[in-house]
């Protein structure tokens, strides 16, 4: 089934045809926007993006901006990281339930691992610099408000 693009009117009011892909999700991240795909049929939010709604199987979809706040549901502290993250270890990775409903996995920064507690409020922030090695896309992370 071919992907159905959606015309998104951004903050600058210019329309673009944008596919429902993880690549497009990270392009939004590079523009400091947290976006999800919304089903126009049942209103489900799809994060990561998909081109078919898993609840109602509709392809009538659109991109929607998400609120960049939520609560920490669970987390872990990484002490033995992959090579590209060794300089920042130990670091925390958690799942945050966003105010709009979807859950999002990401790194937790600007708070000591021993001060992290399930239920704390976190905000999505963006690191739009492109790393020189994998993963080579703009990143988002969580931090205290």
Residue boundaries of the structural domains of the chain: 6-65, 69-143
Which helix (DSSP H) or strand (DSSP E) does residue 82 occupy?
A: none
Q: What per-residue confidence (pLDDT) applies to 85? A: 86
Q: Kindly indicate whether the domain formed by 69-143 is annotated with CATH number 2.60.120.
A: no
- Exposed, middle or buried by CB within 10 Å (0-12, 13-18, 19+), for 68? buried
Mean predicted lDDT score pLDDT of the chain: 88
Cα–Cα distance between 98 and 140 in angstroms, integer? 14
Binned at pLDDT 50, 70 and 90, residue 75 comes out as very high
What integer is the mean pLDDT of 65-88?
94
What CA–CA distances, in Å, run from 88 to 56, 73, 117? 42, 23, 20
Q: What is the pTM of this model?
A: 0.83
CB 63 within 8 A of CB 48: no
Q: What per-residue confidence (pLDDT) applies to 14? A: 45
Q: What per-residue confidence (pLDDT) applies to 84? A: 82
User: Model confidence over 103-117: pLDDT tens digits?
Assistant: 999 999 999 999 999
Q: What per-residue confidence (pLDDT) applies to 15? A: 52
What integer is the mean pLDDT of 116-145?
86
Q: In which region does residue 125 sit, left (phi positive, over 0), alpha (psi from -120 to 50) or beta (all else)? A: beta
Binned at pLDDT 50, 70 and 90, residue 99 comes out as very high
CB 95 within 8 A of CB 104: yes
């Amino acid at each position: 089934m071919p992907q159905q693009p959606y015309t998104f009117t951004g903050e600058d009011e210019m329309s673009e045809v944008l596919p429902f892909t993880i690549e497009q999700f990270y392009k939004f991240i590079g523009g400091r926007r947290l976006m999800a795909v919304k089903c126009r049929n049942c209103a489900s939010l799809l994060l990561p993006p998909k081109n078919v709604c898993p609840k109602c199987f509709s392809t009538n979809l659109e991109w929607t901006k998400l609120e960049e706040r939520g609560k920490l549901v669970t987390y872990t502290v990484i002490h033995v990281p992959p090579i590209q993250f060794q300089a920042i270890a130990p670091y925390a990775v958690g799942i945050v339930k966003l105010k709009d409903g979807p859950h999002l996995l990401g790194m937790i920064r600007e708070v000591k691992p021993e001060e992290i507690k399930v239920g704390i409020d976190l905000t999505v922030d963006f690191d739009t610099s492109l790393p020189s090695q994998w993963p080579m896309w703009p990143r988002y992370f969580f931090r205290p408000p």
